[in-house]
Chains A and B, each alone.
Chain A
């Protein structure tokens, strides 16, 4: 074996080690949460209200709250994000305006989430007088993930081969018909990837909901969009830092973390499945 080959073997084995380490870290986190959390997981934990100063009972309102916030923020952010991405990629020619919008979108993505929280409180909670509510929280979370949706949708649209657009125009289709009947169906699997990513972010973020929706302790389900809710990430924070009996609440915290991870995981799998089905229908060669 020559020196050159030896160097190469050492280098790539080192890279392999490093990438395996990354996977290991993920498994360690998952395993740790699972081991600590699975003990408290039972039917009551998933479906009951918290009780005994949050050291017993369940986390049902927090699960419902998080699902509400996911749905609310997506209803708001997904259409707006997709529509502006369509406008930018399919309609707007390279120009100052396009560069400006893109730079601003990227800047929006760089704003720390706690700042979104503060802004959401100022605008939705106070100025628009929504109060601490699902709608204020959803809008704040929606604003936060808009850049993610816009960026991934734009990438998805860009990956659609131009020959398909041209072929559609050549048959007398309008630009809108071309977008809705050819471009979007082809881009859909990748657009859904953006949706998955943003759901992951929305369900995990604590800062944007801190001042806009999250309740410390609210053992009932919301009855409308102007109600406050508990949410899993905030509940986790509360259990760990500011409960009445933190030592006793610790297992509940791990259980909450476990449920949060599972919700994200299940949604990811579900979206992947949809993506695969949508992808099969419009498979390119």
Chain B
């Protein structure tokens, strides 16, 4: 096994002429939660989207540098992008369940990846919904449309959907920013639970949230990865004055 779940080497990324990421070097260990924090437009979501190559879908993005997941260069010629995205799950800012039944939402990832064994799918779906701490709320209405769920339930369904394809790494892009405090609490508890089995990278604007859920925190500012360290260290004795200013709320 390689030492790092994720490893980024000398990454520069441009949107057209605008440099969104500057000489990023970063690693994440297995079974940890890393929080990306920083003011809007600092590049944290852009970096997150590198890990499952979502930036491929945006026109005008080009970059230099390397990104490894489990020791594999994900931009190597022989990498199958669809397969990569199966290995690297993603949960988005706004819950985006498919307008299908709750069951079909979770089964979707399996079906598109060629699984057709009914029993396996059923077991996997139930398993994933349980892992996402949603089972008690939906067990009687798996055939109902996912659109009938509340925002918080939809977001946990999206997490279940991501878990079903057994990702090695889960990316979360401000997963609780559109949710009420109670739903947010449930998502945070869930992240804490999931850490035992998965590596998680979460982008958040919420300092308390970063403090509560993460083992490591990385602070971004204007495309630079200013510093990253154990969350406790970042929050108590950051090296860089910019980090200190940000977490004490002096800007951003």
What are the residues of chain B within 8 A of A163 when measuring CB–CB? 92, 94, 96
Q: Are B57 and A171 in contact (CB under 8 A)?
A: no
Quick one: which of A167, A174, A283 contacts B96, CB cutoff 8 A?
Answer: A167
* Closest chain B CB from A17 CB (angstroms): 41
What are the residues of chain B within 8 A of A177 when measuring CB–CB? 112
Chain A minimum-CB-distance residue to B147: A285
Chain A CB within 8 A of B135 CB? no
Complex CA–CA separation, A121 to B113 (angstroms): 49
What are 21 A-B contacts with C-beta separation under 8 Å? A94-B59, A161-B96, A163-B94, A164-B99, A169-B82, A170-B85, A170-B89, A171-B85, A171-B89, A171-B112, A172-B82, A172-B85, A173-B82, A174-B112, A181-B112, A182-B98, A185-B100, A282-B100, A283-B99, A284-B147, A285-B147
**New A-B pairs, 4, CB < 8 Å, besides A169-B57, A170-B90, A285-B147:** A169-B82, A170-B89, A173-B82, A173-B109
Quick one: which of B82, B108, B109, B148 contacts A174, CB cutoff 8 A?
Answer: B82
Complex CA–CA separation, A285 to B100 (angstroms): 12
Quick one: which of A170, A173, A285 contacts B54, CB cutoff 8 A?
Answer: A170
What are the residues of chain B within 8 A of A281 when measuring CB–CB? 99
Known: A166-B57, A186-B99, A282-B99. A181 touches B108 (CB 8 A): yes
Interface string of B49-61 (1 = CB under 8 A from A): 0001010010100
Complex CA–CA separation, A95 to B158 (angstroms): 34
* Closest chain B CB from A281 CB (angstroms): 8
Enumerate A231-282 residues with CB–CB distance to B below 8 Å. 281-282
Chain B CB within 8 A of A93 CB? yes
Chain B CB within 8 A of A84 CB? no
What is the interface residue range for chain A against chain B?
A: 20 to 34
Known: A163-B94, A166-B57. A171 touches B108 (CB 8 A): yes
Q: Is the interface of B mostly helix, strand, loop or mixed?
A: helix
Complex CA–CA separation, A94 to B94 (angstroms): 26
Chain A CB within 8 A of B161 CB? yes
Interface string of B202-232 (1 = CB under 8 A from A): 0000000000000000000000000000000
* Closest chain B CB from A118 CB (angstroms): 43
Chain A CB within 8 A of B86 CB? yes
Quick one: which of B92, B100, B113 contacts A172, CB cutoff 8 A?
Answer: B113
Chain B CB within 8 A of A168 CB? yes
Interface residue tally for chain B (C-beta within 8 Å): 31
Q: Which of B52, B86, B92, B108 has the most CB of A within 10 A?
A: B108
Interface string of A62-105 (1 = CB under 8 A from B): 00000000000000000000000000000001100000000000
Known: A182-B98, A186-B99. A171 touches B92 (CB 8 A): no
Q: Are A284 and B109 in contact (CB under 8 A)?
A: no
Chain A CB within 8 A of B236 CB? no
Chain A CB within 8 A of B78 CB? no
Q: Are B92 and A167 in contact (CB under 8 A)?
A: yes
Known: A163-B92, A167-B158, A284-B99. A172 touches B54 (CB 8 A): no
What are the residues of chain B within 8 A of A186 when measuring CB–CB? 99
Chain A CB within 8 A of B165 CB? yes
Q: Which of B59, B111, B112, B145 has the most CB of A within 10 A?
A: B112
What are the residues of chain A within 8 A of B89 when measuring CB–CB? 170-171
* Closest chain B CB from A216 CB (angstroms): 51
Complex CA–CA separation, A261 to B114 (angstroms): 48
* Closest chain B CB from A160 CB (angstroms): 10
What are the residues of chain A within 8 A of B85 when measuring CB–CB? 169-172
Enumerate A18-51 residues with CB–CB distance to B below 8 Å. none
What are the residues of chain A within 8 A of B54 when measuring CB–CB? 166, 169-170
What are the residues of chain B within 8 A of A169 when measuring CB–CB? 54, 57, 82, 85
Q: Are B59 and A93 in contact (CB under 8 A)?
A: yes
Q: Are A168 and B112 in contact (CB under 8 A)?
A: yes
Enumerate B70-110 residues with CB–CB distance to A below 8 Å. 82-87, 89-90, 92, 94, 96-100, 108-109
Chain A CB within 8 A of B162 CB? yes
Complex CA–CA separation, A172 to B112 (angstroms): 7
Complex CA–CA separation, A26 to B10 (angstroms): 69
* Closest chain A CB from B249 CB (angstroms): 31
Chain A minimum-CB-distance residue to B146: A285
Interface string of B24-57 (1 = CB under 8 A from A): 0000000000000000000000000000101001
What are the residues of chain B within 8 A of A94 when measuring CB–CB? 59
What are the residues of chain B within 8 A of A171 when measuring CB–CB? 85-86, 89, 108-109, 112-113, 161-162, 165
